[in-house]
Amino acid sequence: MSEIIVQKFGGTSVGSDERINAVANIIKKATKENKVIVVVSAMSGETNRLIKLAKSFSDNPNRREFDALISTGEKVSASLLAMALEANGVKAKSFSASQISMKTTNHHSKARIVDVDGKKILSTLNEGIVPIITGFQGITESGDVTTLGRGGSDTTAVAIAAQVDATRCDIYTDVDGVYTTDPRVVPEAKKLDSITMEEMLEMAGQGAKVVQIRAVEFANKYKVPVRVLSSFEEGEGTLISLKEGNMENALISGIAFKKDQTKFTLHSVADTPGIAHKILGPVNDKDISVDVIVQNVSVNGKTDFTFTVDSEEEEKVKSILENEKSGLDYADLLIDANIAKVSVVGAGMRSHAGIASKAFEALSSEGINIQVISTSEIKLTLVIEEKYLELAVRSLHKAFNLEK
């Protein structure tokens, strides 16, 4: 009974009274071996129900009130889960963000955790009571309710695990772990027993939506091992490990991909110092995330500058770049919404040469043209025509023997 673990259950895991009872059984079992702290999301559908209520008054409701409203969802599921545990003979107590002083910045709807008071949680644990904590929410210094943004419950769980020095943070969801790639695209995709934090960050950022990216960053920063597993079926899930190099034999851990991307190319732009900032500064100012950024060597003082964004931002970015045309002094603006990104991710890339050429070869043998190439230490990202995406993912998965 000495180790503390944090268990986090997402919306589908607590989506009905039956699911809540199933979760209570998972917790009960865990309490036989460990001290357990629980973090819950709202029942699936509840947050959307509340958002719909808010939208009936305003398309752009007051953020403070909006957060106060939607934060009630986790309060409901936390209390219900505490009741379910009591009914199963396990002592439990729900705690809201204000009850455990989960302090955040005051950026409503996308607040960042600043601090959390672990004392109340630990004293509850020491009384043999399971603390059930509302995920996704916090309070400002002046006591206003904030929320952390969609998926923020993962971050809550990791923050609490860090605060109480938990041995592990288990993120229960409706998938049984992290896969080498999306099994809907590659039926042979294999569940990974473990993955490094860095690889997970690269995988998650590329659209492997198993666990919230901020939570992984948080776990990385505070060295909290995170495990991703299913509340719907038994299994060991995937451990997002702290240790680097435990994947020594595996060069590559997965293939990530993302659709609905738009590629902007500023053709023949003057290659002056600060040009990248001059182009992307106004885009960042509008809170638009830019993904792949590529600038090639310049010829005659002119270069081509390319970047990708989510397609839903296309119109905004287009008007920004057109407005800035005189300042930026480019010859042409090329916009292509017909693209997708595919990435090869693996810590082994650091120490092993030849990964890139193997990937190029795989795509080339399928006749897939690579439009843009971008690399990081553990990731190789390729921009290709969207229609080839599934084929590219399958051929890369096979080329790196990920089904084995």
Binding residues for a copy of itself (CB under 8 A): 17, 20-21, 50, 53-54, 56-58, 61-62, 64-66, 68-69, 72, 75-76, 78-80, 82-84, 86-87, 93-94, 96, 98-99, 143-145
68 vs 370, beta carbon nearer a copy of itself: 68
3-state DSSP helix/strand/coil % of the chain, to nearest 5: 35, 25, 35
Q: How far is the CB of 297 from a copy of itself (least distance, A)?
A: 54
Q: How far is the CB of 166 from a copy of itself (least distance, A)?
A: 23
46 vs 199, beta carbon nearer a copy of itself: 46
Max Cα–Cα distance, the chain, nearest Å: 76
87 vs 299, beta carbon nearer a copy of itself: 87
66 vs 172, beta carbon nearer a copy of itself: 66
- How far apart, in whole angstroms, are the C-alpha atoms of residue 195 and residue 237? 11
DSSP calls for 361-399:
HHHHHTTPPEEEEEEETTEEEEEEEGGGHHHHHHHHHHH
What is the token pair recorded at 133?
A: 């904590």
Contacts with 24 (C-beta within 8 Å, 6 or more apart), sequence order: 81, 84, 85, 87, 88, 90
Task: Beginning with the edge strand found earlier in the chain, give each strand of the sheet holding 194-196 in spatial order.
Answer: 92-95, 130-134, 35-40, 4-9, 168-173, 226-230, 238-241, 194-196
Q: How far is the CB of 162 from a copy of itself (least distance, A)?
A: 23
- From the list 102, 127, 104, the residue with the least C-alpha distance to 39 is 102
Q: How far is the CB of 35 from a copy of itself (least distance, A)?
A: 20
75 vs 358, beta carbon nearer a copy of itself: 75
Q: How far is the CB of 119 from a copy of itself (least distance, A)?
A: 13
What is the token pair recorded at 387?
A: 């229609």
What is the token pair recorded at 5?
A: 């673990």
Q: How far is the CB of 151 from a copy of itself (least distance, A)?
A: 21
77-to-91, 111, 157, 352, 364 alpha-carbon distances in Å: 16, 21, 15, 47, 51
Q: How far is the CB of 344 from a copy of itself (least distance, A)?
A: 46
- How far apart, in whole angstroms, are the C-alpha atoms of residue 291 and residue 207? 12
Q: How far is the CB of 61 from a copy of itself (least distance, A)?
A: 5
81 vs 192, beta carbon nearer a copy of itself: 81
62 vs 338, beta carbon nearer a copy of itself: 62
Q: What are phi and psi of 36, to 5 degrees?
A: -115, 130
81 vs 215, beta carbon nearer a copy of itself: 81
Q: How far is the CB of 100 from a copy of itself (least distance, A)?
A: 10
Cα 230 to chain centroid, rounded: 17
Q: How far is the CB of 170 from a copy of itself (least distance, A)?
A: 23
82 vs 342, beta carbon nearer a copy of itself: 82
* Residue 308 β-bridge partners: 263
62 vs 357, beta carbon nearer a copy of itself: 62
Residues composing the chain: 404
Residue for token pair 């023997």: 401
- How far apart, in whole angstroms, are the C-alpha atoms of residue 75 and residue 84? 14
Cα 80 to chain centroid, rounded: 27
81 vs 269, beta carbon nearer a copy of itself: 81
Q: State the angle between helix axes of 72-87 and 63-70 in degrees (0 to 180), rounded to the nearest 10.
A: 10
Q: How far is the CB of 19 from a copy of itself (least distance, A)?
A: 12
